[in-house]
A and B are shown apart, each in its own frame.
Chain A
Amino acid sequence: MKFRTIILLSLLLPLLAWAEARPLGDDPAVEARLKALSTELRCLVCQNQTLADSSAPLAEDLRREIREQIVKGMTDKEITDYLVARYGDFVRYRPPVRTGTILLWVGPLALLLAGLTGLWSSLRRRNAVLDEDIGEGEEA
């Protein structure tokens, strides 16, 4: 009987750890917004990671900062602007459309159009040549 009590109590032990490991930010709504915002932002220390993924100390600090601003009731735009003012547009994975970034937005589409135009004109030329050949063949 005593043995069984000990087993039962030891099974309860992990609960202590559960109580201890609660995250700093308790509010799930805040955490969800933090997660959504930080996946849109770049960690400047490890440039190919988002703020959400990065474990760099700066990323941790910035997440703390963003969490506090969310709790203060700032909007997503205000928080993003706060970071852009300090680190530049580079922190955003989706840079705004400006004269400096227009090539970034339009470039791929322009290349695609150029490729399609090239393909279309070369196909037309080849068809014309083929038609001629077939035409000649029929005559002969």
Chain B
Amino acid sequence: MKPMLKFLFPLAVLVVLLGFFAVGLKLDPREVPSPLVNKPAPKFHLPKLGNPSEFVTTDDMLGKVWLLNVWASWCSACREEHPLLVEMSRRGEVPLVGLDYKDTDPEGQAVLSEGGNPYSVVATDADGRVGIDYGVYGVPETYVIDKAGIIRYKQIGPITEEALREKIMPLVKGL
């Protein structure tokens, strides 16, 4: 190997490695792409928050584009997200269905009476089985579901203004 090449070769390796590191820094290992995107939303039939004798089902939402927001009273990131949801519901652009995940009715209701209720209806998933069907692993999570009941997008973690403006609302409007 020529002396010049001998010097350039490790440098090239270093540049490639730095490239990988730079990309890796921007990736979030907590964001695991969901295999459920572009698949039918799992069906559920769950008691309604505040009125357990009534039920909320996915069939009620067929023919509508809607958001399913998984939240809980014990989840602090959900509290951060809550004001944005309330503001969103005030604009009334898209129906928001809540899924109160592994929570108790009184505690769930307390959150809504405190911070306002952005949901058109809230289903209670006390034992977390519907959460498993949706592949929930970090609340809050939000699913965009189209008129045919297909999941089109999954937001892992709180909805941010940016995600709402750049991903969720354009997608909802296009469906």
Contact = CB atoms under 8 A, between A and B. Distances in A.
A87 B135 contact: yes
Contacts of B129: 61, 65
Contact of B34 (A57, A62, A65, A88): A88
Contacts of B138: 44-45
Interface residues of B, number: 19
A45 B136 CA distance: 10
Judged by DSSP, the binding face of A is helix
A57 B135 contact: no
Contacts of A89: 35
Contacts of A62: 132
B132 A86 contact: yes
Interface string B97-139: 0000010000000000000000000000001110111111110
A90 interface: yes
Interface string A39-50: 000001101000
A17 interface: no
A85 B132 CA distance: 10
Given A44-B137, A86-B135, A61 B34 contact: no
Contacts of A61: 127-129, 131-132
B102 A47 contact: no
B29 A84 contact: no
Contact of A58 (B36, B134, B137): B137
A87 B137 contact: yes
A5 to B, nearest CB: 47
Nearest to B36: A86
B70 to A, nearest CB: 12
B24 interface: no
Contact of A87 (B29, B35, B102, B127): B35
Nearest to A56: B137
20 contacts: A44-B32, A44-B137, A45-B138, A47-B29, A47-B30, A57-B128, A58-B136, A61-B127, A61-B128, A61-B132, A62-B132, A65-B132, A84-B35, A86-B35, A86-B132, A86-B134, A87-B32, A87-B135, A88-B32, A88-B33
Given A47-B30, A87-B34, A88-B32, 14 more contacts: A44-B138, A45-B138, A58-B128, A58-B136, A58-B137, A61-B129, A61-B132, A85-B36, A86-B132, A86-B133, A86-B134, A86-B135, A88-B35, A89-B35
